[in-house]
């Protein structure tokens, strides 16, 4: 087990290296000059040249990348061009609200998706199954920004149940979390239904029922546990999608977090911040997928990583 974890952590290194190369090239090849943006359009050419030299932007891309990756190895993600603060501190200050939003959305998606999928798989009427699957298809199809605006209109401006912007207590987290987790809920519901429909006709399920085990116990203790392995795999993938989707949701609900910070960095061509955020998100995504692999052991004792 320990060997497997170490091997997977070692495999993360080339992935992060490839991500760093791609985001470095993409951020530097996009139109726009950070020095011109910082100084304004009325700045003189001499001032722009001077600032570009101070920021190191006049050096070849290979030299700039070499300096950047050397700093990353030391744990230094550079300094923000806008604020002058270390990028690592900027990310650390803004990540907790984004993590809170992502975890809340993932919890909603996991619970609601699995329950709706199980209900659809065990439904005794075709109409109920069709209604649940149509609802999940609507959740997949609806853009998160549009759903967020609808929730703001209904629950914020009409019913006044929840605040519509900013942070605060748990009430301020409800609408953004539901908005962010809606698509993941629909995906998990459809996958849970399909997986359960394959497991329910199995011999061990029929045997448990023949022994007189209660239907809910058969479903949740026997059938669902075996059907959750592909669902857990998709949960890991959905976590990365939710982390990326927080950019839009935080903008819609005016929440201060890593998503809005990334948007501001792109608008101001703050290269070190853009690179640091993408690299940090890639590392979090890799660790989540490692956690999913470890979770397989709890779901199915037959799985082993020992070699």
Listing DSSP states for 2-19 in one string gives HHHHHHHHHHHHHHHHHH
List per-residue pLDDT tens for the chain, 307 residues long. 667 677 777 777 888 888 888 887 777 776 666 666 666 667 777 877 787 777 677 777 788 888 878 888 887 787 887 777 888 888 888 888 888 888 899 899 888 888 888 888 777 667 777 777 777 777 777 888 888 888 888 888 888 888 877 666 778 888 898 888 888 888 888 888 888 877 777 766 667 677 666 666 666 666 777 777 778 778 877 887 787 778 888 888 888 888 888 888 887 777 788 888 888 888 888 887 777 777 666 666 556 655 5
CATH topology classification for 93-299: MetI-like fold (1.10.3720)
As a whole number of angstroms, the distance between CA 139 and CA 147 comes to 9
Domain with CATH 1.10.3720.10 in the chain: 93-299
What pLDDT, on a 0 to 100 scale, did the predictor assign at position 39? 66
Yes or no: say if 214 and 191 are a contact pair by the CB < 8 Å rule.
Answer: no
The CA–CA distances, whole Å, from 104 to 61, 108, 171 equal 40, 6, 12
User: What are the DSSP calls for 41-97, one per residue?
Assistant: TTS-HHHHHHHHHHHTTTS-HHHHHHHHHHHHHTT---B-TTT-SBHHHHHHHHHHH
Yes or no: say if 252 and 179 are a contact pair by the CB < 8 Å rule.
Answer: yes
What pLDDT, on a 0 to 100 scale, did the predictor assign at position 247? 80
What pLDDT, on a 0 to 100 scale, did the predictor assign at position 265? 82
What pLDDT, on a 0 to 100 scale, did the predictor assign at position 195? 83
């Amino acid at each position: 087990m320990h060997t497997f974890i170490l091997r997977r952590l070692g495999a993360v290194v080339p992935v992060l290296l490839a991500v760093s190369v791609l985001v470095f090239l993409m951020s530097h090849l996009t139109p726009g000059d950070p020095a011109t943006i910082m100084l304004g359009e009325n700045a003189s050419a001499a001032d722009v040249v001077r600032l570009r030299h101070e920021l190191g932007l006049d050096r070849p891309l290979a030299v700039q990348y070499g300096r950047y990756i050397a700093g990353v190895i030391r744990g230094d993600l550079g300094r923000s061009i806008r604020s002058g603060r270390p990028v690592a501190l900027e990310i650390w200050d803004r990540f907790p609200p984004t993590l809170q939003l992502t975890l809340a959305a993932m919890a909603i998606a996991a619970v609601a998706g699995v329950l709706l999928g199980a209900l659809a798989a065990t439904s005794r009427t075709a109409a109920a199954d069709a209604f649940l699957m149509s609802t999940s298809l609507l959740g997949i199809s609806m853009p998160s920004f549009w759903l967020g605006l609808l929730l703001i209109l209904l629950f914020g401006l009409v019913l006044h149940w929840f605040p519509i912007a900013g942070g605060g207590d748990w009430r301020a987290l409800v609408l953004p979390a539901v908005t962010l987790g809606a698509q993941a809920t629909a995906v998990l519901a459809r996958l849970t239904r399909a997986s359960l429909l394959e497991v329910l006709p199995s011999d061990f399920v029929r045997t448990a029922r023949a022994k007189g085990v209660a239907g809910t116990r058969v479903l949740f203790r026997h059938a669902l546990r075996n059907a959750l392995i592909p669902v857990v795999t998709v949960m890991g993938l959905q976590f990365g999608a939710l982390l990326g989707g927080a950019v839009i949701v935080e903008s819609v609900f005016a929440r201060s977090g890593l998503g809005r910070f990334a948007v501001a960095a792109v608008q101001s061509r703050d290269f070190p911040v853009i690179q640091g955020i993408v690299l940090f998100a890639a590392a979090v995504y890799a660790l989540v997928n490692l956690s999913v692999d470890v979770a397989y052991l709890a779901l199915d004792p037959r799985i082993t990583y020992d070699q």
